[in-house]
Amino acid sequence: MTKQRVLTALVLAPVMIFGIFFLELKPFAVFIGIIASLGAWEWANIAGYKKNWSRVLYAVFVFVCLYISARFLRVWPEYKIWFLAAGTLWWVVAFALVKRYPGGTDLWNARVIRAFLGLCVLIPMWVGFMHLKEEPHSSLLIIYVMLVVWGADTGAYFAGRKWGNTKLAPNVSPGKSWAGFWGGLATTLVLAAFACWYVDSQLQALNTAQALKIFAITVVTMVISVLGDLVESMMKRHRGIKDSSSLLPGHGGVMDRIDSMAAAVPVFAFMMMVLQWGLVA
């Protein structure tokens, strides 16, 4: 299993690095669209669609929705914030669903509702990536969001192993603990401090208000990234499956790799727009 994980990571890492740093906006849109569509193929299974043709159809439907979103936002870019606001609102609703689980499943048990929730996850993720790609120093922003997610996960892992007695959401993901959450938060705060130093010293001068915005955006993104993982765990537990698929040997499926990112990216982009913060070209 460890060998498979390492080999898969060695293949995926260069692909992601190439996509982030070297693709222009349109090819990047297709690149993220393909990732989202693979995630959609898996989400269809999570939603309860077992036949492969129905899963493929759902993946195609999601890709078409992304294409329509791209055409719409090209004509009316001012509506981008509403896409991101809707995505952020979904994660507020998702918090309530996770908190109530295993109660409240009657609200989203129907396959068509779970399929709709997949749109709430995948379309805002794509729009969020597009917003970041259009910003100055886009590669740095995208890498930073990834570092926030990975840093939170790493801090949670080590803190959880040492002090993780009190479970965060035992009915959803028994492996997660409050100690892990606080460990992830501590890692995130360190990362935000480093980001402030780097931006101030290498890119643009920061005042106190701008630094506080970086901390606020980072912390909110970290919290939502945890929720992204919990939501997918809840859906899989309800469906009775361990992994979203076996597309990535040793890693499970694409959704298992991007669940936290799918939550973090649109919220990060939305917070940037609301707080009117960004890097200067």
Tell me what the pLDDT averaged over the chain comes to: 91
Go through 212-237 and write b for each residue having 16 or more CB atoms within 10 A of its CB, e for each that does not.
ebbeebbbbbbbbbbbbbbbbbbbbb
Please report which confidence band the pLDDT of residue 247 belongs to, taking 50, 70 and 90 as the band edges. Answer: confident
- Quick: pLDDT tens for 31-50: 999 999 999 999 999 999 98
Residue closest to 11 by CA, chosen among 259, 250, 265: 250
Q: CA of 17: how far to CAs of 71, 102, 230, 249, 262, in Å?
A: 26, 39, 27, 20, 18
Helix (H, G, I), strand (E, B), or coil: what is residue 272? Answer: helix
Average pLDDT (1-30) is 77
- Quick: pLDDT tens for 131-183: 999 999 999 999 999 999 999 989 998 898 888 788 899 899 888 999 999 99
Q: What is the DSSP letter of 23?
A: -
Compute, in degrees rounded to 10, the torsion defined by CA atoms 27, 263, 203, 130.
Answer: 30
- Quick: pLDDT tens for 99-137: 999 999 999 999 999 999 999 999 999 999 999 999 999
The two three-digit tokens of residue 53, written as one number:
């043709």
Please report which confidence band the pLDDT of residue 281 belongs to, taking 50, 70 and 90 as the band edges. Answer: confident
Q: Which amino acid is present at 240? A: G
**What is the percent of the chain with per-residue pLDDT over 70, rounded to a whole number?**
95
Residues 176 and 251 sit within 8 Å (Cβ to Cβ) = no
- Quick: pLDDT tens for 207-246: 999 999 999 999 999 999 999 999 999 999 999 988 787 7
pLDDT score for 7: 60
pLDDT score for 2: 47
Domain ranges of the chain: 2-275
Where is pLDDT greater, at 250 or 23?
A: 23
CA–CA gap between residue 102 and residue 99 (Å, rounded):
9
* Residue reference for tokens 């919290």: 223
